[in-house]
Amino acid sequence: MPELPEVETMVRGLRPALEGRRIAALELHDPTMLQGVALDEFVTGRAGAVVARVGRRGKWVVVELAADAGIIVIQPRMTGGFRLVEPDRPEHVRLTFRLANPDASVWYCDARRLGRFLWFPGPEQAEAAFARAQGPDALEIGRDDLAARLARTRRAVKPTLLDQKVLAGIGNIYADEILFESRLHPLRISAELTPAEVGRLHAAIRPVLRRAIEAEGASFDAGYRTVLGLEGGFLAVNAMYGRAGLPCKNCGGPIVKTKIAGLIGRPTYLCPKCQPENRARGRDRR
């Protein structure tokens, strides 16, 4: 579920609960979700550590510990999220941060268990892992950098936006919002976008993500919630996702839900009129 705005909302909610606090114990309820470090080392080595900082890297949550206790990375993937305040222990808890003085628990919950926990002994190792998996953050990438990365591939532009190595943070919901905002068809060839089109695309990314962060993310069904268990409000104000058959906010025509090549089975929402597949004056119209 969580894309950049949802993860950013989680991180903002986690900071006051975790930063400066001592972890009395880490409880890992599903060891198969831990990667790259032995269960025993992960758990025993973190007991007593103090959380120095909580941050975000693309769609990953980064928990930096003080005094050489290393860096915990949590990838929520599809159904992961955190809970701070619940009347009872929430469902599907996979990792618990137990805090002392005063006693408190921060729960990581993940119905489908697709999420992953990583641990790195220091910033160098964490940086190396980030660099291996992710390009620049979608909120920070410059226009020229984006242009160069698009020029490098003949993939369709939507799969390129979803490739975390190109830029980090955009997922299936926000890719559609961004492409609509920039009036680009998701199947346009990345390397064939004109400088003006790349400019529109770049100009759309930050405002769309910022708007979603203000709304505290996008919630539907029993999926993503804030750390307080509240729904994010983005799907009440968005333009595309989940709006098949409803009027396009630009032209009033019906929004189409479809599947496109290059993505496994994920839905794509677009307005065929506002996001034409062929460039208006293109000569290679088929």
List contacts with DNA (CB under 7 A): 1-3, 6, 32, 58-60, 75, 77-79, 92, 111-114, 133, 152-155, 159, 162, 164, 171-173, 217-224, 232, 235, 261-262, 264-267
CB of 163 to DNA, least distance (A): 8
CB 148 within 8 A of CB 243: no
Residue 231: active-site member: no
Q: Which of 59, 158, 188, 225 is catalytic?
A: 59
CB of 29 to DNA, least distance (A): 12
Residue 91: active-site member: no
Give kind and range of the element (H or E) at residue 257. strand 256-259
CB of 267 to DNA, least distance (A): 4
Q: Which of 15, 266, 273, 279 is catalytic?
A: 266
Backbone angles phi, psi at 130, to 5 degrees: -60, -45
Residue 22: active-site member: no
Name the residue nearer to DNA (CB basis): 170 or 248: 170
The residues facing 75 across adjacent strands are: 116
CA–CA gap between residue 142 and residue 31 (Å, rounded) = 39
Which residue type does 245 have? G
Residue 3: active-site member: yes
3-state secondary structure of 26: strand
Name the residue nearer to DNA (CB basis): 29 or 98: 29
**Residue 29, burial from CB neighbour count under 10 angstroms (0-12, 13-18, 19+):** middle
The two three-digit tokens of residue 280, written as one number: 């208006």
CB of 54 to DNA, least distance (A): 17
Catalogue the active-site residues. Answer: 2-3, 59, 266
